Chains A and B, each alone.
Chain A
Amino acid sequence: MKLLNVTAGAVIAATGFCSAAFATTDLTMWYHGAGNKVESKIVNQIIDDFNKSQSDYKVALQSFPQNSYNDSVTAAALAGNLPDILDMDGPIMPNWTWSGYLQPLPIPEDHFKDFLPGTKGVYDGKLYSIGLWDAAVALYARKSTMKELGLRTPTLDKPWTKDEFMSALEAAKKSGKFDYAIDLGMSDKGEWYPYAFLPFLQSFGGGLVNRETYDTAEGVLNGDAAIAWGNWWQSLFADKLAPGTSQDPAAHETGFIDGKYAFSWNGNWNAVKTMDKVDDVEFLPAPDFGNGSKIGGASWQFGISASSTAPEGAAEFIKFATQDKYLAEFSDALGLIPATKSAAQMTKNYKTGGPLAVFYGLSEAQAEKRPVTPGYVVDSKVFQKAAADIADGADVIDTLDSATDQINADIKRNDGYKKN
């Protein structure tokens, strides 16, 4: 009887030990790529690979449409229903961190030392998110147009100056061959405005908010440099060099390809499509308006929710997903800029001499993040309106003063967005 008890005890203990040893922790993950067949396929592949590679954690994916993703996350946070792993657009990370949605990645930052700066979501000195890719904007042009107009081809080392850029636009206009000299994508309202146009303001020497203190926009968004930017910006539309805010979205989609616009200020995500249809397209760096050539940085990144009970498992997944082979796979499939140089060499477009290699250089050399502050979600909207109003002919100084007041009021209303 005693032997039986001992044996039974041993069996129970062993069963308990085994189940503990082989217990799998379920991790939930949210991703913004619902509806994107290619992206979904790769994300699912990464998750499958991760789940097969070990038995401690099992990741389950839930995909959301990109347009409504932020609303879904915010609602879930309110309802206490966030997943373990979630992805986010880079500029919103500080707000979600400040709102208590995220926790710092339990991964040493050194692990990502080779990653492009735009892919690292650092706030308050801590790494909260990491991206598998970055995005970049360039000036699309045709080699034939450049030659015909007698223009120098700008390089990363020697970009066009403001005068050269404006001469190029004037030359295109005078040629009479184009509806407009440049398509800036004004029909694409939303985050495109600060992402694509804020770098112009920064290159003039202005900005959206004081980046040292993040407590005011005074003197930055309405200072002399910003006013100079506003006057220049308005002149593009007043002089009919670029279609304004009433631009037909259809014209923006196909205008450069159809030859209606000589230049297009466009993202790398449209590069492959354009190369397929325009044989001699080339991608030029942003002009230097006095304070260096600048473009926007930071795209979608992975983070861990504050409510995750298994952050170490989530971190394991993020480390797994950020391997070069997956960065390269994403890049080849979607035309995105891989986060590391070594991954870039594994891609067809971004390897040395590849057709889009220039974008890697642009991202590495020129990318500047949008203001890393929780208030950016408001600042972004304010800038969108100000840029549109100025383009529509509003008084530059009044508009920038008003935008500055709105941003300052928001900062004050939120008690300076003090860190929690």
Chain B
Amino acid sequence: MSVIGSDNRNLRLGVRYLVLILIALIFVLPLLFMVMSSFKPSDELLRDTSSLRAFLPVGQLSLDNYTGAFERAPVGLFVFNSIFVTGTTVLLSLVICSLAGFSFVFLQWRGRDVMLSIILATFIVPFETIAIPLLLEVSKLPWLGLDGLSWGWLDSYRVQIIPWIADGLTIFLFVQYFKGLPGELIEAARVEGASWFQIYRRVVIPLSGPVIATAAILKFLIMYNQYLWPLIVVQQEQYRPVMVGLQYFFQLNPAWGEIMAYLTLITVPVLAFYLVLQKAFIASIASTGVKG
């Protein structure tokens, strides 16, 4: 009886692993195809798409596509721009949105609930619908820089950063997480005479690792994948991010090998960022699941 039970358990485990492996393959194979293809000449790459060779390091492998990608476009500049814009936005976003979330959860002020509702309502407004009005707005905004006062934010890093610092989703994440923190901690800190900012900095933020990681990863992905906004507000190559740079490779005859090499290169920062934060990210997902 116990042997049969053990067999059943093993069978169930086997099936479970098989299903998990199949699901993992669905996500891994495109990445594998991208990396393998980045070492193949374009015509061979296209021929291999009809067979399993597409996922294998076979054929004429070389680094030519990587050399070609760097010759075709200033890849380093695009990666730097994206990382700079993304990194700055993520950092500022974490500060601003967590402060906003803190005020919505812990502070009492008139119009708080209405304001939160309005912010949450921005979820349903697709960015495409406000892109043009926002473009017109930023093209006329003043800026006080080292060169003095100037008008218009186009062709700059700030135009890619500032409009994206605060967003409804990130504020919502912080609000939800802060609501789950023990109220006694906040009350104790108040009794001890801590100011609201001290409570934010010394009590709430140290307890918010998982939500910070989640918000950082989501914001990172949104910012790193930016295409439409930089396309319309940046005309100078020196400020272009990686996704606009991808278009350099789509000529009348797309350079497929170089496209795969470029995609491989620009995927590295995303993977690195995720790997650094993955433990906290998984902890956040897990804690959300427990609460649910």
Chain A interface residues (CB < 8 Å from chain B): 30, 34-37, 62-68, 71-72, 75-76, 78-81, 248-250, 253-254, 267, 269-270, 273
Assess the B248–A65 pair: CB atoms within 8 A. Answer: yes
Assess the A250–B154 pair: CB atoms within 8 A. Answer: no
Contact (A81, B237) CB under 8 Å given A248-B49, A254-B47 = no
Considering residues A62, A68, A81, A269, which has the most beta carbons from chain B within 10 angstroms of its beta carbon?
A68
CB proximity of B68 to chain A, nearest CB, Å: 9
Assess the B136–A62 pair: CB atoms within 8 A. Answer: no
B residues within 8 A CB of A79?
135-136, 139, 152, 154
Assess the B136–A35 pair: CB atoms within 8 A. Answer: no
Listed stretches B97-105, B249-257, B277-285; interface member: B249-257
Assess the B251–A75 pair: CB atoms within 8 A. Answer: no
Whether, in the assembled complex, B43 has its beta carbon less than 8 Å from a beta carbon of chain A, the answer is yes
A residues within 8 A CB of B232?
71-72, 75
Pick 29 A–B contacts, CB within 8 A, sort by A. Answer: A30-B235, A34-B248, A35-B73, A35-B247, A35-B248, A35-B250, A36-B251, A64-B235, A65-B244, A65-B247, A65-B250, A67-B250, A68-B231, A71-B232, A75-B232, A75-B233, A79-B135, A79-B136, A79-B152, A79-B154, A81-B235, A248-B50, A250-B46, A250-B49, A250-B50, A253-B46, A253-B253, A254-B43, A267-B252
**CA A250 – CA B46 in complex, angstroms?**
5
CB proximity of B92 to chain A, nearest CB, Å: 24
Whether, in the assembled complex, B115 has its beta carbon less than 8 Å from a beta carbon of chain A, the answer is no
Beyond known contacts A68-B231, A71-B232, A81-B139: 13 more, CB 8 A cutoff = A34-B237, A37-B72, A71-B231, A72-B232, A75-B231, A79-B135, A79-B154, A80-B139, A81-B235, A250-B47, A253-B253, A269-B253, A270-B253
CB proximity of B260 to chain A, nearest CB, Å: 13
Closest to B131 in A: A75
B residues within 8 A CB of A273?
253
Closest to B42 in A: A253
CB proximity of B73 to chain A, nearest CB, Å: 6
Assess the B49–A68 pair: CB atoms within 8 A. Answer: no
From B43, B235, B244, give the contact of A62 (CB < 8 A).
Answer: B235
B residues within 8 A CB of A71?
231-232
Give 6 closest A-B pairs by Cβ, nearest first: A35-B248, A65-B247, A75-B232, A250-B46, A79-B139, A67-B247
CB proximity of A43 to chain B, nearest CB, Å: 14
CB proximity of A227 to chain B, nearest CB, Å: 33
Whether, in the assembled complex, B132 has its beta carbon less than 8 Å from a beta carbon of chain A, the answer is yes
From B71, B152, B237, give the contact of A63 (CB < 8 A).
Answer: B237
Contact (A37, B237) CB under 8 Å given A67-B250, A253-B46 = no
Contact (A35, B233) CB under 8 Å given A75-B135, A78-B135, A250-B50 = no
**CA A248 – CA B250 in complex, angstroms?**
17
Whether, in the assembled complex, B236 has its beta carbon less than 8 Å from a beta carbon of chain A, the answer is yes
**CA A68 – CA B249 in complex, angstroms?**
12
**CA A217 – CA B143 in complex, angstroms?**
50
Q: How large is the interface on B (under 10, 10 to 19, 20 to 34, 35 or more residues)?
A: 20 to 34
A residues within 8 A CB of B252?
267, 269-270
CB proximity of A283 to chain B, nearest CB, Å: 17
Could you give, for residues 170-184 of chain B, a 1 whenever the CB lies within 8 Å of some chain A CB and a 0 otherwise?
Answer: 000000000000000
A residues within 8 A CB of B135?
75, 78-79
CB proximity of B128 to chain A, nearest CB, Å: 12
Assess the A68–B139 pair: CB atoms within 8 A. Answer: no
B:10-65 near A, CB below 8 Å: 43, 46-47, 49-50
Considering residues B46, B152, B232, B235, which has the most beta carbons from chain A within 10 angstroms of its beta carbon?
B235
**CA A35 – CA B250 in complex, angstroms?**
8
Assess the B50–A62 pair: CB atoms within 8 A. Answer: no
B residues within 8 A CB of A64?
235
From B46, B136, B152, B245, give the contact of A254 (CB < 8 A).
Answer: B46
Closest to A40 in B: B72
Assess the A78–B235 pair: CB atoms within 8 A. Answer: no
**CA A248 – CA B72 in complex, angstroms?**
26
**CA A51 – CA B136 in complex, angstroms?**
33
A residues within 8 A CB of B136?
78-79
From B50, B231, B251, give the contact of A72 (CB < 8 A).
Answer: B231
Closest to B73 in A: A35
**CA A62 – CA B46 in complex, angstroms?**
32
CB proximity of A396 to chain B, nearest CB, Å: 31
A residues within 8 A CB of B251?
35-36, 66
**CA A35 – CA B46 in complex, angstroms?**
21
B residues within 8 A CB of A267?
252
From A62, A68, A80, give the contact of B237 (CB < 8 A).
Answer: A62
**CA A273 – CA B245 in complex, angstroms?**
25
**CA A66 – CA B244 in complex, angstroms?**
11
CB proximity of B205 to chain A, nearest CB, Å: 39
B residues within 8 A CB of A37?
71-72
B:204-251 near A, CB below 8 Å: 231-233, 235-237, 244-245, 247-251
A residues within 8 A CB of B152?
79, 81
CB proximity of B159 to chain A, nearest CB, Å: 11
B residues within 8 A CB of A248?
49-50
**CA A33 – CA B186 in complex, angstroms?**
59
Assess the A35–B253 pair: CB atoms within 8 A. Answer: no
Considering residues B72, B249, B252, which has the most beta carbons from chain A within 10 angstroms of its beta carbon?
B252
A residues within 8 A CB of B71?
37
**CA A68 – CA B72 in complex, angstroms?**
17
**CA A80 – CA B132 in complex, angstroms?**
13
From A34, A35, A78, give the contact of B132 (CB < 8 A).
Answer: A78
Closest to B232 in A: A75
Contact (A66, B250) CB under 8 Å given A75-B232, A79-B154 = yes
From A66, A67, A72, give the contact of B235 (CB < 8 A).
Answer: A72
**CA A270 – CA B135 in complex, angstroms?**
38
Closest to B140 in A: A79
**CA A79 – CA B229 in complex, angstroms?**
13
A residues within 8 A CB of B253?
253, 269-270, 273
Assess the A68–B47 pair: CB atoms within 8 A. Answer: no
